[in-house]
Amino acid sequence: MSRKYFGTDGIRGRVGSSLMTPDFALKLGWAAGKVLAKNSNPLVVIGKDTRISGYMLESALQAGLVAAGLDIKLVGPMPTPAVAYLTRTFRASAGIVISASHNPYYDNGIKFFSSNGTKLDDAIEEEIEAFLEREMATVESDHLGKASRVDDAAGRYIEFCKRSLPNTVQLNDLRVVVDCANGATYHVAPNVFEELGAEVITIFDKPNGVNINHECGATSLENLQEAVKMYRANLGVALDGDGDRLMLIDEKGEVVDGDEALAIIAQHRLQRDGLKGDIVGTLMSNLGLEQAINKMNLGFHRADVGDRYVMEKLRACNGVIGGEGSGHIIIRDRIETGDGTIAALQVMHALIDSGKPLHELKQVMSKYPQVLVNVPIKEKIDLDASEEIQQSVRDVEETLGSRGRVLLRASGTEPLIRVMVEGEDHAETSDLAQQIANTVRQVAA
């Protein structure tokens, strides 16, 4: 069955149009409720980020679920991974997060977690979509669900994050600047680091409903870079609006991306615990990460882009650590979803144990220059069937040899072909990327 509503990360769109309307959220809540009512504990945990539209969508989802006979636990503004954790602790049938992650405030989304805190299986999403095509009907009044608020949700999650480090680890020697993106981590992440002993300076922690991700957070690092230098901090932590990803800033004000954080965590875990299992990146992971992991005598696998696919590959290879350059990092023996706060703690643990600054730790991998060119297209192109495009790719791969790699992929959200080339020399890499892009433009014309 081809899915009509669910994408790779739930359902997302502009508020007031597309699917982010109260009437659709009402019907979605009811459809999900009809599917989840079959479970032994018909209970759903609902959390959200700090977008103003979250109130509207939360109320509509709540009404739909109650109409289908499900009980609800409302946890308020909470990071996405916190909702995954609370779903497990309440033994709920599912968790729902109302968030559009790093998108601007005028977008929003609805994504589901299974009872064990992982993404819903495709089969369940398809079953929900089937109910969306049916006429909505409310259960009898004595079977209606009830909703209640969880007042201590933040405290539960803070303690969970702290337990992801050994009891003997203290962060007393670290000064940390935390950029909360005016999002869902504003009242949890700074407390986690502070309660573990770090000196914490917090910025962008005053959400007002419309300032989420605005010139702050994991997609806009300039302010954090300046703050780290101004406060002479050991590191900066930038979280995104829903707290499932991070970017780091070292003591020199330089960016440490998801690939570099992944390499630091893998090396530390290998040295401390004798890490077992392979490491998972994505098709977009830097070649330098793959080479660094291979030097550790660990296997490296590439999944499709998206934390859902990273998780699938980790399960398939029995791996523990995986992630994306954009900052989604999964530490499976801590939590089975991307968690920016917990990933940051793993890096801080490496800093404490090694006694080395972050700038030195990130030298565990040498990043290859990576050039990405987006080529607009009017109609879908079969990249594999185009001999001109494939010949252009072969020519570039022959030029690079073992010094780089090429990746072509169609965007899943926009009418674009993404051309990515990595190589040792930035100027050469840029020229080669444009060479393939020009061929794609000619074929698309």
pLDDT at res. 41 = 79
The pTM of this model reads: 0.91
Across the beta sheet with 246-249, the strand order is 199-203, 175-179, 235-239, 246-249, 255-256
Q: Which residue shows structure tokens 């419309």?
A: 210
Of 72-86, 176-190, 191-205, 370-384, the one with minimum mean pLDDT is 370-384
| Mean per-residue pLDDT, 234-240 | 98
| Strand pairing class (11-14; 107-113) | antiparallel
Q: Which residue shows structure tokens 């290859």?
A: 368
Q: Which residue shows structure tokens 């916190």?
A: 82
> What are the structural domains, with CATH classification, of the chain?
11-151 (3.40.120.10), 157-364 (3.40.120.10), 370-444 (3.30.310.50)
Q: pLDDT class for 127, splitting at 50, 70, 90?
A: very high
| Mean per-residue pLDDT, 200-226 | 98
pLDDT at res. 141 = 97
pLDDT at res. 17 = 85
Tell me the per-residue pLDDT of 16-26, one tens digit each, with 9 for 90 and over. 987 999 999 99
Residues acting as catalytic residues:
101
Which of 342, 377, 155 is closest to 265 using CA atoms? Answer: 342
Tell me the per-residue pLDDT of 371-386, one tens digit each, with 9 for 90 and over. 999 999 988 888 999 9
* Cross-strand pairs, 112: 96
pLDDT at res. 363 = 97
pLDDT at res. 107 = 96
Give the H or E element holding residue 331: strand 329-331
pLDDT at res. 402 = 86
Please spell the DSSP secondary structure of 36-94, one letter per residue.
HTTSSS-EEEEEE-S-THHHHHHHHHHHHHHHTT-EEEEEEE--HHHHHHHHHHTT-SE
Q: Is 155 left (phi over 0), alpha (psi -120 to 50) or beta?
A: alpha
Q: Which residue shows structure tokens 């679920």?
A: 65
Which of 368, 216, 211, 355 is closest to 286 using CA atoms? Answer: 368
| Mean per-residue pLDDT, 213-219 | 97
- Higher pLDDT: 414 or 93? It is 93
Of 22-31, 245-254, 403-412, the one with minimum mean pLDDT is 403-412
pLDDT at res. 120 = 86
Two structure tokens written together for 413: 């959200």
- Higher pLDDT: 309 or 63? It is 63
Across the beta sheet with 321-323, the strand order is 300-303, 279-282, 321-323, 329-331
Q: pLDDT class for 2, splitting at 50, 70, 90?
A: low
Share of the chain above pLDDT 90, in %: 86
| Mean per-residue pLDDT, 290-311 | 93
Q: pLDDT class for 412, splitting at 50, 70, 90?
A: low
Which of 132, 117, 107, 125 is closest to 54 using CA atoms? Answer: 107
Tell me the per-residue pLDDT of 144-168, one tens digit each, with 9 for 90 and over. 999 999 999 999 999 999 999 999 9
| Mean per-residue pLDDT, 225-239 | 98
Single-letter residue type at 118: T
Tell me the per-residue pLDDT of 64-116, one tens digit each, with 9 for 90 and over. 999 999 999 999 999 999 999 999 999 999 999 999 999 999 999 999 999 98
pLDDT at res. 413 = 63
| Mean per-residue pLDDT, 284-306 | 94
Q: pLDDT class for 246, splitting at 50, 70, 90?
A: very high
CA distance 414 to 280: 26
Asked if pLDDT for residue 298 goes beyond 70, the answer is yes
CA distances from 171 to 191, 259, 292, 428 (A): 12, 23, 27, 43
Residues contacting residue 57 through CB under 8 Å, at least 6 positions apart: 20, 22, 25, 48, 98, 108, 110
